[in-house]
């Protein structure tokens, strides 16, 4: 019992000694890290250097052996024959400088401005984008586009985008795309765009040429992957950009102008090479070869004249005659 009360008393004395030796300024620091320059401790019965170090340096466990050696070296009179196990009761020992972390300080996160992944280089008609934060921006030459943006073109609109990998995208009338991912990375570049409806023509850039690159043009019917090419897509679009009605508007139409593409849906993975066109009726249907001269893939030309302007010109000529 006597040894138990002795150890208990030694612990209380050590705790009291620590509280006294810490400066008032340190207590006032609150949620901060403070430094005690000098501390002294009188060795009490039942104390060991290992117990003292454990209590006073709880966050420096890996340094405990070095701290003990330094204490023994700094206080030769407190240890018989410089043996850390043979501490002298009643001796005053000087303790090394120490840092006591009371509470980590939280750093305010720095806002990082998103980086543009493309720019509008040509535009005609009404076109706009809606960001991930649901902010609308009218598109004009020089407008930048970002990952997460949805781009929309109106009835007679057209935009041409130049992307960060030098790819070119012509988004035609009554169309909507979403830029899901577009990055240039050492481990593999990424280009993931979703054509929700409408039609586009794309000339691929550097993304898709390396084996590690991820390139996907997603549609509601199938996903297109490329290997350096130029191709055109049209999906779920009932009206042509010249005002005509396409009676076969269901599904996805694809035409490859250069290179080759892979078309993947529930029916499997299919290749389409330059000069060929195909129609995929649904997510489960295989591509069917078609003749691409029926106005399905009209040229995405920002200077093209709509059907109605052409008709008006004929009427004016007839009136003049």
* Residue 318 pLDDT class (50, 70, 90 cuts): low
Asked which of 131-145, 152-166, 198-212, 295-309 is least confident by mean pLDDT, the reply is 295-309
Q: Domain of residue 13: give its range.
A: 2-101
Mean pLDDT within 91-117: 64
Domain count, the chain: 2
- The reply to whether 93 and 229 lie within a common domain is no
Percent of the chain with pLDDT over 90: 38
- Asked if the structure places residue 220 within a domain, the reply is yes
What is the pLDDT at residue 217?
A: 94
Structural domain ending residue among the three candidates 40, 66, 101: 101
- The reply to whether 77 and 214 lie within a common domain is no
- Asked if the structure places residue 321 within a domain, the reply is no
* Residue 211 pLDDT class (50, 70, 90 cuts): confident
- Asked if the structure places residue 56 within a domain, the reply is yes
- Asked if the structure places residue 153 within a domain, the reply is yes
> Does the pLDDT value for residue 184 go beyond 80?
yes
- Asked if the structure places residue 109 within a domain, the reply is no
- Asked if the structure places residue 127 within a domain, the reply is yes
Percent of the chain with pLDDT over 70: 69
- The reply to whether 256 and 198 lie within a common domain is yes
* Residue 289 pLDDT class (50, 70, 90 cuts): very high
- Asked if the structure places residue 113 within a domain, the reply is no
- The reply to whether 170 and 209 lie within a common domain is yes
**Unique residue bearing structure tokens 């004929």:** 314
Tens of pLDDT, residues 42-76: 888 888 888 888 888 888 888 888 889 889 998 98
- The reply to whether 160 and 75 lie within a common domain is no
**pTM to 2 decimal places:** 0.58
Q: What is the CATH number of the domain that holds 285?
A: 2.60.120.1440
- The reply to whether 74 and 140 lie within a common domain is no
Tens of pLDDT, residues 216-247: 999 999 999 986 688 888 888 766 675 555 54
């Amino acid at each position: 019992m006597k040894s138990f009360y002795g150890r208990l008393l030694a612990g209380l004395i050590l705790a009291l000694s620590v509280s006294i030796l810490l400066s008032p300024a340190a207590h006032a620091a609150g949620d901060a890290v403070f430094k005690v320059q000098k501390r002294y401790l009188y060795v009490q019965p039942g104390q060991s250097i290992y117990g003292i170090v454990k209590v006073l340096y709880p966050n420096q466990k890996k340094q405990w052996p070095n701290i003990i050696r330094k204490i023994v070296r700094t206080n030769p009179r407190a240890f018989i024959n410089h043996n850390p196990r043979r501490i002298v009761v009643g001796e005053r020992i000087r303790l090394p400088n120490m840092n006591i972390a009371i509470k980590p300080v939280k750093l305010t996160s720095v806002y990082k401005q998103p980086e543009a992944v493309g720019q509008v280089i040509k535009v005609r008609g009404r076109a706009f984008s809606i960001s991930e934060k649901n902010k609308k921006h009218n598109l004009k030459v020089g407008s930048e586009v970002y990952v997460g943006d949805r781009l929309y073109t109106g009835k007679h609109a057209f935009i041409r985008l130049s992307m960060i990998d030098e790819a070119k995208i012509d988004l035609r009338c009554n169309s909507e795309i979403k830029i899901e991912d577009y990055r240039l990375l050492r481990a593999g570049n990424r280009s993931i765009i979703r054509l929700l409806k409408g039609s586009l023509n794309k000339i691929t850039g550097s993304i898709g040429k390396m084996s590690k690159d991820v390139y996907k043009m997603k549609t509601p019917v199938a996903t297109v992957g490329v290997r350096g090419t130029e191709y055109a897509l049209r999906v779920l679009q009932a009206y042509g950009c010249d005002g005509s009605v396409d009676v076969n508007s269901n599904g996805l139409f694809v035409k490859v102008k250069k290179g080759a593409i892979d078309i993947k849906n529930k029916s499997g993975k299919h290749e389409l090479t330059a000069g060929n066109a195909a129609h995929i009726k649904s997510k489960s249907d295989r591509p069917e070869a078609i003749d691409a001269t029926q106005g399905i893939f009209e040229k995405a030309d920002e200077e093209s004249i709509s059907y109605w302007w052409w008709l008006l010109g004929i009427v004016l000529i007839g009136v003049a005659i």
